[in-house]
Amino acid sequence: MRYTLFLLLLIVISFSACKEEPPILPGLTKSKIVFVTDPDSSLVKLNNKELNRITPFILDNLDPGFFKIDLNRNTYLDTTIYYVIRRNITDSILIEMREDPVYWWKVYNTSNSQVPTNQIAAIKVDERNNKWIGTSGGGLLRFDGSTFTISNTSNSGIPSNFINDIYIEGNGILWIVTTEGFAKFDGFNWIVFNSSNLNLPENNFTSIAKDKNGIYWLGTLNSGLIKFDGAEVTIFNYSNSGLPFNYISTITVDENNLKWIGTWGEGMATFDGIKWEVYNSLLDGLINNYISKIIIDDKGNKWIATGTPFEPGGLSMFDGSDFINYLPSAIGLPGSIVTDLAFDEKDNLWITTNNGVAKFDGIKWRIYNTGNSGLPSNSTVSIAVDLNEDKWVGTAGLAKYIGGKR
Protein backbone atom coordinates (compact mmCIF):
# COMPACT_ATOMS: atom_id res chain seq x y z
CA MET A 1 0.00 0.00 0.00
CA ARG A 2 2.76 2.44 0.93
CA TYR A 3 4.57 1.56 -2.28
CA THR A 4 1.42 2.27 -4.35
CA LEU A 5 0.85 5.70 -2.73
CA PHE A 6 4.50 6.63 -3.21
CA LEU A 7 4.32 5.68 -6.89
CA LEU A 8 1.16 7.77 -7.44
CA LEU A 9 2.74 10.77 -5.70
CA LEU A 10 5.86 10.46 -7.85
CA ILE A 11 3.74 10.40 -11.04
CA VAL A 12 1.83 13.58 -9.96
CA ILE A 13 5.07 15.45 -9.18
CA SER A 14 6.62 14.41 -12.48
CA PHE A 15 3.54 15.48 -14.44
CA SER A 16 3.41 18.84 -12.65
CA ALA A 17 7.09 19.52 -13.32
CA CYS A 18 6.67 18.74 -17.01
CA LYS A 19 3.64 21.01 -17.23
CA GLU A 20 5.42 24.03 -15.67
CA GLU A 21 8.71 23.75 -17.59
CA PRO A 22 8.55 22.11 -21.04
CA PRO A 23 11.80 20.85 -22.44
CA ILE A 24 14.05 23.44 -24.09
CA LEU A 25 14.18 22.72 -27.78
CA PRO A 26 17.40 23.16 -29.75
CA GLY A 27 17.55 26.46 -31.73
CA LEU A 28 15.28 28.41 -29.37
CA THR A 29 17.81 29.27 -26.67
CA LYS A 30 19.93 31.85 -28.48
CA SER A 31 19.35 35.60 -28.45
CA LYS A 32 20.78 38.79 -29.94
CA ILE A 33 21.82 42.20 -28.57
CA VAL A 34 22.17 45.33 -30.73
CA PHE A 35 24.69 47.69 -29.10
CA VAL A 36 24.35 51.42 -29.86
CA THR A 37 26.07 54.26 -28.00
CA ASP A 38 25.92 58.03 -28.30
CA PRO A 39 28.52 58.80 -29.52
CA ASP A 40 29.48 55.60 -31.30
CA SER A 41 32.91 53.93 -31.52
CA SER A 42 32.82 52.79 -27.90
CA LEU A 43 34.73 49.62 -26.97
CA VAL A 44 32.61 46.87 -25.45
CA LYS A 45 33.58 44.29 -22.86
CA LEU A 46 31.10 41.51 -22.05
CA ASN A 47 31.37 39.72 -18.70
CA ASN A 48 34.91 41.12 -18.32
CA LYS A 49 35.93 39.71 -21.71
CA GLU A 50 37.24 42.00 -24.46
CA LEU A 51 35.17 41.67 -27.62
CA ASN A 52 37.48 43.77 -29.82
CA ARG A 53 34.40 45.41 -31.28
CA ILE A 54 33.19 49.00 -31.26
CA THR A 55 29.66 50.30 -31.32
CA PRO A 56 27.37 50.07 -33.15
CA PHE A 57 27.40 46.31 -33.69
CA ILE A 58 25.29 43.19 -33.23
CA LEU A 59 26.19 40.39 -30.86
CA ASP A 60 24.22 37.22 -31.59
CA ASN A 61 24.16 33.55 -30.65
CA LEU A 62 23.84 34.47 -26.96
CA ASP A 63 22.58 32.15 -24.27
CA PRO A 64 19.97 33.62 -21.91
CA GLY A 65 21.39 35.01 -18.74
CA PHE A 66 22.76 37.89 -16.70
CA PHE A 67 25.37 40.03 -18.45
CA LYS A 68 27.81 42.68 -17.27
CA ILE A 69 28.54 45.17 -20.06
CA ASP A 70 31.46 47.61 -19.83
CA LEU A 71 31.84 50.48 -22.31
CA ASN A 72 34.93 52.58 -22.85
CA ARG A 73 35.63 55.56 -25.10
CA ASN A 74 38.43 58.12 -25.02
CA THR A 75 37.45 61.43 -23.29
CA TYR A 76 34.31 59.77 -21.90
CA LEU A 77 33.76 58.16 -18.51
CA ASP A 78 33.73 54.37 -18.38
CA THR A 79 30.21 53.00 -18.18
CA THR A 80 29.02 49.68 -16.76
CA ILE A 81 25.51 48.27 -17.02
CA TYR A 82 24.01 44.96 -15.96
CA TYR A 83 21.52 43.36 -18.30
CA VAL A 84 19.29 40.28 -18.22
CA ILE A 85 18.48 38.78 -21.60
CA ARG A 86 15.81 36.15 -22.15
CA ARG A 87 15.91 33.41 -24.73
CA ASN A 88 14.97 33.71 -28.40
CA ILE A 89 14.72 37.51 -28.50
CA THR A 90 16.54 40.51 -29.96
CA ASP A 91 17.25 43.38 -27.56
CA SER A 92 18.55 46.85 -28.45
CA ILE A 93 20.69 48.71 -25.93
CA LEU A 94 21.20 52.47 -26.42
CA ILE A 95 23.61 54.07 -23.98
CA GLU A 96 24.45 57.77 -23.79
CA MET A 97 28.11 57.98 -22.86
CA ARG A 98 28.98 60.50 -20.15
CA GLU A 99 31.60 63.06 -21.04
CA ASP A 100 34.72 63.32 -18.92
CA PRO A 101 34.48 66.86 -17.47
CA VAL A 102 38.26 67.21 -17.30
CA TYR A 103 38.45 67.10 -21.10
CA TRP A 104 35.21 68.83 -22.12
CA TRP A 105 35.00 71.72 -19.63
CA LYS A 106 37.28 74.56 -18.57
CA VAL A 107 36.36 77.02 -15.83
CA TYR A 108 37.91 80.47 -15.42
CA ASN A 109 37.41 82.17 -12.07
CA THR A 110 39.11 84.45 -9.60
CA SER A 111 41.24 81.65 -8.17
CA ASN A 112 42.75 80.30 -11.40
CA SER A 113 42.71 83.18 -13.91
CA GLN A 114 42.71 86.94 -14.45
CA VAL A 115 38.91 87.10 -14.11
CA PRO A 116 38.30 89.83 -11.48
CA THR A 117 34.91 88.56 -10.28
CA ASN A 118 32.87 85.38 -10.59
CA GLN A 119 29.69 87.35 -11.30
CA ILE A 120 29.25 87.10 -15.09
CA ALA A 121 26.27 89.06 -16.43
CA ALA A 122 26.58 88.98 -20.24
CA ILE A 123 28.67 87.24 -22.92
CA LYS A 124 28.96 88.17 -26.61
CA VAL A 125 31.31 87.00 -29.39
CA ASP A 126 32.75 89.26 -32.10
CA GLU A 127 33.77 88.50 -35.71
CA ARG A 128 37.31 87.60 -34.60
CA ASN A 129 36.01 85.11 -32.03
CA ASN A 130 36.95 87.33 -29.10
CA LYS A 131 34.69 86.79 -26.14
CA TRP A 132 33.39 89.99 -24.55
CA ILE A 133 32.26 89.40 -20.98
CA GLY A 134 30.26 91.84 -18.93
CA THR A 135 30.59 91.40 -15.19
CA SER A 136 28.78 92.64 -12.12
CA GLY A 137 31.47 94.69 -10.42
CA GLY A 138 34.58 93.72 -12.39
CA GLY A 139 34.09 95.74 -15.55
CA LEU A 140 34.34 94.48 -19.14
CA LEU A 141 36.58 91.56 -20.13
CA ARG A 142 37.90 90.62 -23.56
CA PHE A 143 39.18 87.06 -23.89
CA ASP A 144 41.10 86.08 -27.02
CA GLY A 145 41.49 82.46 -25.99
CA SER A 146 44.60 82.91 -23.90
CA THR A 147 44.56 86.35 -22.24
CA PHE A 148 41.92 88.40 -20.47
CA THR A 149 42.02 92.15 -21.04
CA ILE A 150 40.12 94.07 -18.37
CA SER A 151 38.49 97.48 -18.84
CA ASN A 152 37.26 99.07 -15.64
CA THR A 153 36.70 102.51 -14.19
CA SER A 154 40.29 102.64 -12.96
CA ASN A 155 42.08 101.98 -16.25
CA SER A 156 39.63 103.13 -18.95
CA GLY A 157 36.76 105.43 -19.81
CA ILE A 158 34.11 102.84 -19.11
CA PRO A 159 31.28 104.48 -17.13
CA SER A 160 30.69 101.64 -14.64
CA ASN A 161 32.06 98.27 -13.60
CA PHE A 162 28.54 96.83 -13.62
CA ILE A 163 27.81 95.73 -17.20
CA ASN A 164 24.25 94.64 -18.00
CA ASP A 165 24.36 94.03 -21.76
CA ILE A 166 26.70 94.15 -24.77
CA TYR A 167 25.97 94.78 -28.45
CA ILE A 168 28.62 93.88 -31.05
CA GLU A 169 28.51 96.44 -33.84
CA GLY A 170 31.23 94.89 -35.98
CA ASN A 171 34.43 96.42 -37.36
CA GLY A 172 35.86 96.37 -33.85
CA ILE A 173 33.06 98.49 -32.38
CA LEU A 174 30.83 97.49 -29.52
CA TRP A 175 28.30 99.11 -27.26
CA ILE A 176 27.83 98.37 -23.59
CA VAL A 177 25.05 99.33 -21.21
CA THR A 178 25.80 99.83 -17.54
CA THR A 179 24.33 101.11 -14.30
CA GLU A 180 25.89 104.53 -15.04
CA GLY A 181 25.00 105.12 -18.69
CA PHE A 182 25.86 103.44 -21.98
CA ALA A 183 29.02 103.68 -24.06
CA LYS A 184 30.54 103.07 -27.49
CA PHE A 185 33.99 101.48 -27.64
CA ASP A 186 36.15 101.23 -30.78
CA GLY A 187 38.91 99.19 -29.18
CA PHE A 188 40.80 102.27 -28.03
CA ASN A 189 38.43 105.09 -27.14
CA TRP A 190 35.27 105.31 -25.09
CA ILE A 191 32.36 107.61 -25.83
CA VAL A 192 30.00 107.71 -22.86
CA PHE A 193 26.33 108.72 -22.97
CA ASN A 194 24.46 109.58 -19.79
CA SER A 195 22.11 112.19 -18.36
CA SER A 196 24.87 114.81 -18.36
CA ASN A 197 25.17 114.91 -22.17
CA LEU A 198 21.83 113.51 -23.34
CA ASN A 199 18.23 114.11 -22.36
CA LEU A 200 18.01 110.79 -20.54
CA PRO A 201 15.53 110.04 -17.74
CA GLU A 202 18.08 107.88 -15.87
CA ASN A 203 21.50 106.25 -16.24
CA ASN A 204 20.69 102.64 -15.27
CA PHE A 205 20.43 100.75 -18.56
CA THR A 206 19.54 97.07 -18.87
CA SER A 207 19.62 96.12 -22.57
CA ILE A 208 20.45 97.26 -26.09
CA ALA A 209 19.62 96.37 -29.71
CA LYS A 210 20.05 97.99 -33.13
CA ASP A 211 17.33 97.99 -35.77
CA LYS A 212 17.47 97.75 -39.58
CA ASN A 213 17.57 101.55 -39.91
CA GLY A 214 20.63 101.97 -37.69
CA ILE A 215 18.63 103.14 -34.68
CA TYR A 216 19.65 101.99 -31.20
CA TRP A 217 17.01 100.88 -28.70
CA LEU A 218 17.89 100.79 -25.02
CA GLY A 219 16.02 99.49 -22.01
CA THR A 220 16.12 101.19 -18.63
CA LEU A 221 15.52 99.98 -15.11
CA ASN A 222 12.70 102.42 -14.30
CA SER A 223 12.08 104.81 -17.18
CA GLY A 224 10.97 102.74 -20.16
CA LEU A 225 12.43 102.42 -23.65
CA ILE A 226 14.94 104.82 -25.21
CA LYS A 227 15.30 105.37 -28.97
CA PHE A 228 18.73 106.76 -29.87
CA ASP A 229 19.66 107.85 -33.39
CA GLY A 230 23.26 108.69 -32.50
CA ALA A 231 22.48 112.27 -31.47
CA GLU A 232 18.97 112.56 -30.02
CA VAL A 233 16.82 110.41 -27.80
CA THR A 234 13.10 109.67 -27.76
CA ILE A 235 11.56 108.25 -24.60
CA PHE A 236 8.72 105.72 -24.59
CA ASN A 237 7.21 104.87 -21.23
CA TYR A 238 4.03 103.61 -19.62
CA SER A 239 2.51 107.12 -19.58
CA ASN A 240 3.12 108.24 -23.17
CA SER A 241 2.97 105.01 -25.18
CA GLY A 242 1.61 101.47 -25.33
CA LEU A 243 4.52 100.15 -23.31
CA PRO A 244 3.02 98.03 -20.48
CA PHE A 245 5.78 98.65 -17.92
CA ASN A 246 8.82 100.88 -17.48
CA TYR A 247 11.28 98.16 -16.41
CA ILE A 248 12.69 96.90 -19.73
CA SER A 249 14.70 93.69 -19.41
CA THR A 250 15.51 92.68 -23.02
CA ILE A 251 15.11 93.92 -26.61
CA THR A 252 15.44 92.20 -29.97
CA VAL A 253 14.58 93.18 -33.55
CA ASP A 254 13.06 90.76 -36.07
CA GLU A 255 13.47 90.49 -39.86
CA ASN A 256 10.60 92.96 -40.39
CA ASN A 257 12.25 95.55 -38.13
CA LEU A 258 9.64 94.93 -35.46
CA LYS A 259 10.96 95.60 -31.98
CA TRP A 260 10.27 92.91 -29.37
CA ILE A 261 10.53 94.34 -25.87
CA GLY A 262 10.55 92.21 -22.73
CA THR A 263 9.51 93.77 -19.45
CA TRP A 264 10.20 92.65 -15.91
CA GLY A 265 6.70 92.01 -14.63
CA GLU A 266 4.20 92.85 -17.39
CA GLY A 267 5.01 90.51 -20.26
CA MET A 268 6.34 91.68 -23.62
CA ALA A 269 5.40 94.21 -26.26
CA THR A 270 6.03 94.78 -29.96
CA PHE A 271 6.54 98.17 -31.57
CA ASP A 272 6.68 98.92 -35.30
CA GLY A 273 7.34 102.62 -34.85
CA ILE A 274 3.64 103.47 -34.63
CA LYS A 275 1.60 100.62 -33.19
CA TRP A 276 2.09 98.71 -29.95
CA GLU A 277 0.92 95.20 -29.14
CA VAL A 278 1.20 93.59 -25.73
CA TYR A 279 1.40 89.89 -24.77
CA ASN A 280 1.07 88.62 -21.20
CA SER A 281 0.25 85.55 -19.15
CA LEU A 282 -3.28 86.66 -18.31
CA LEU A 283 -4.64 87.10 -21.82
CA ASP A 284 -2.28 85.46 -24.28
CA GLY A 285 -0.84 82.27 -22.84
CA LEU A 286 2.67 83.55 -22.16
CA ILE A 287 4.05 81.36 -19.40
CA ASN A 288 5.26 84.21 -17.17
CA ASN A 289 5.39 88.02 -17.26
CA TYR A 290 9.00 88.33 -16.08
CA ILE A 291 11.04 88.22 -19.29
CA SER A 292 14.82 87.67 -19.26
CA LYS A 293 15.51 87.13 -22.96
CA ILE A 294 13.82 87.02 -26.37
CA ILE A 295 15.58 85.49 -29.38
CA ILE A 296 14.33 84.55 -32.85
CA ASP A 297 15.00 81.34 -34.78
CA ASP A 298 15.41 80.99 -38.55
CA LYS A 299 11.66 80.32 -38.95
CA GLY A 300 10.74 83.55 -37.21
CA ASN A 301 9.59 81.89 -33.98
CA LYS A 302 10.22 83.90 -30.84
CA TRP A 303 11.75 82.05 -27.87
CA ILE A 304 11.16 83.71 -24.52
CA ALA A 305 13.02 83.09 -21.25
CA THR A 306 10.99 83.80 -18.11
CA GLY A 307 10.78 83.35 -14.36
CA THR A 308 11.97 84.65 -10.99
CA PRO A 309 12.50 83.02 -7.57
CA PHE A 310 9.09 84.36 -6.53
CA GLU A 311 7.29 83.81 -9.85
CA PRO A 312 8.46 80.48 -11.35
CA GLY A 313 8.35 80.43 -15.12
CA GLY A 314 10.02 78.51 -17.90
CA LEU A 315 10.44 78.73 -21.67
CA SER A 316 7.84 79.96 -24.15
CA MET A 317 7.83 79.75 -27.94
CA PHE A 318 5.59 82.12 -29.91
CA ASP A 319 4.94 81.32 -33.59
CA GLY A 320 3.02 84.52 -34.27
CA SER A 321 -0.34 83.05 -33.27
CA ASP A 322 0.08 80.74 -30.31
CA PHE A 323 2.38 80.14 -27.37
CA ILE A 324 3.93 76.76 -26.66
CA ASN A 325 5.16 76.62 -23.08
CA TYR A 326 7.85 74.37 -21.63
CA LEU A 327 7.70 73.86 -17.87
CA PRO A 328 10.42 72.28 -15.74
CA SER A 329 10.35 68.49 -15.83
CA ALA A 330 12.51 65.47 -15.03
CA ILE A 331 13.32 64.86 -18.72
CA GLY A 332 13.10 68.39 -20.10
CA LEU A 333 13.72 71.94 -18.99
CA PRO A 334 15.79 71.69 -15.78
CA GLY A 335 14.80 74.92 -14.01
CA SER A 336 11.88 77.28 -13.47
CA ILE A 337 14.00 80.42 -13.91
CA VAL A 338 15.30 80.70 -17.47
CA THR A 339 17.95 83.40 -17.69
CA ASP A 340 19.46 83.36 -21.21
CA LEU A 341 19.16 81.74 -24.64
CA ALA A 342 21.45 81.15 -27.63
CA PHE A 343 21.33 79.16 -30.88
CA ASP A 344 24.20 77.13 -32.31
CA GLU A 345 24.84 76.63 -36.04
CA LYS A 346 22.57 73.56 -36.11
CA ASP A 347 19.71 75.59 -34.59
CA ASN A 348 19.90 73.79 -31.27
CA LEU A 349 18.68 76.05 -28.50
CA TRP A 350 20.98 76.46 -25.49
CA ILE A 351 19.27 77.51 -22.29
CA THR A 352 20.66 78.70 -18.97
CA THR A 353 18.53 78.23 -15.87
CA ASN A 354 18.69 78.25 -12.08
CA ASN A 355 19.22 74.48 -12.23
CA GLY A 356 21.78 73.91 -14.96
CA VAL A 357 22.08 74.28 -18.73
CA ALA A 358 19.90 72.59 -21.35
CA LYS A 359 20.31 71.86 -25.03
CA PHE A 360 17.02 71.49 -26.95
CA ASP A 361 16.81 70.38 -30.59
CA GLY A 362 13.04 70.79 -30.76
CA ILE A 363 12.39 67.22 -29.63
CA LYS A 364 15.10 65.96 -27.32
CA TRP A 365 16.61 67.62 -24.25
CA ARG A 366 20.10 67.19 -22.92
CA ILE A 367 20.88 68.54 -19.47
CA TYR A 368 24.24 69.70 -18.08
CA ASN A 369 24.62 70.20 -14.35
CA THR A 370 27.15 69.81 -11.54
CA GLY A 371 26.35 66.11 -11.32
CA ASN A 372 27.11 65.14 -14.92
CA SER A 373 29.38 67.87 -16.29
CA GLY A 374 32.09 70.35 -15.42
CA LEU A 375 29.71 73.16 -14.52
CA PRO A 376 30.92 74.70 -11.24
CA SER A 377 27.38 75.71 -10.24
CA ASN A 378 23.81 74.93 -11.34
CA SER A 379 22.98 78.62 -11.13
CA THR A 380 23.67 79.83 -14.68
CA VAL A 381 22.86 83.33 -15.93
CA SER A 382 24.27 83.83 -19.44
CA ILE A 383 25.40 81.87 -22.50
CA ALA A 384 27.01 82.44 -25.91
CA VAL A 385 28.17 80.16 -28.74
CA ASP A 386 31.45 81.17 -30.38
CA LEU A 387 32.72 80.70 -33.94
CA ASN A 388 34.15 77.28 -33.05
CA GLU A 389 30.76 76.23 -31.67
CA ASP A 390 32.17 76.20 -28.15
CA LYS A 391 29.70 77.26 -25.46
CA TRP A 392 30.51 79.93 -22.87
CA VAL A 393 28.43 79.99 -19.71
CA GLY A 394 28.22 82.65 -17.05
CA THR A 395 27.90 80.88 -13.71
CA ALA A 396 30.24 80.81 -10.70
CA GLY A 397 32.88 82.21 -13.00
CA LEU A 398 33.13 81.64 -16.74
CA ALA A 399 32.73 78.06 -18.00
CA LYS A 400 33.78 76.91 -21.49
CA TYR A 401 32.23 73.75 -22.93
CA ILE A 402 33.70 72.33 -26.15
CA GLY A 403 31.07 69.62 -26.65
CA GLY A 404 27.45 69.46 -27.71
CA LYS A 405 28.31 69.82 -31.40
CA ARG A 406 26.67 66.63 -32.65
Residues of the chain under the 50 pLDDT cut = 1-25
User: Hey, what amino acid is at 64?
Assistant: P
Best CATH choice for the domain 27-96 from the list 2.40.50.140, 3.10.20.30, 2.60.40.10, 2.102.10.10:
2.60.40.10
- The reply to whether the predicted model has a pTM over 0.85 is yes
pLDDT at 229: 96
For residue 199, with 0-12 CB atoms within 10 Å meaning exposed, 13-18 middle and 19 or more buried, which class applies? exposed
H/E segment holding residue 19: helix 2-20
pLDDT tens-digit series, residues 97-156: 999 999 999 999 999 999 999 999 999 999 999 999 999 999 999 999 999 999 999 999
Dist CA 196 CA 206 (whole Å): 19
Beta strands in 86-223 (DSSP E): 90-96, 105-108, 120-125, 131-135, 140-143, 148-151, 163-170, 173-178, 181-185, 190-193, 205-210, 216-220
pLDDT at 285: 94
Task: Say if CB 295 and CB 261 are below 8 A apart.
Answer: no
Task: Say if CB 132 and CB 175 are below 8 A apart.
Answer: no
pLDDT at 304: 98
Within the chain, all domains assigned CATH 2.130.10.10 are found at 101-401
Q: In this structure, which topology does domain 101-401 adopt according to CATH? A: Methylamine Dehydrogenase; Chain H (2.130.10)
CB within 8 A of 320, min separation 6: which ones? 300, 301
Residue 118 is classified by DSSP as: S
pLDDT tens-digit series, residues 282-324: 999 999 999 999 999 999 999 999 999 999 999 999 999 999 9
- Residue/partner pairs of 113-119 with CB below 8 Å, 24 or more apart: 113/148, 114/147, 114/148, 114/150, 115/141, 115/148, 115/397, 115/398, 116/141, 116/150, 116/152, 118/396, 118/397
Within the chain, all domains assigned CATH 2.60.40.10 are found at 27-96
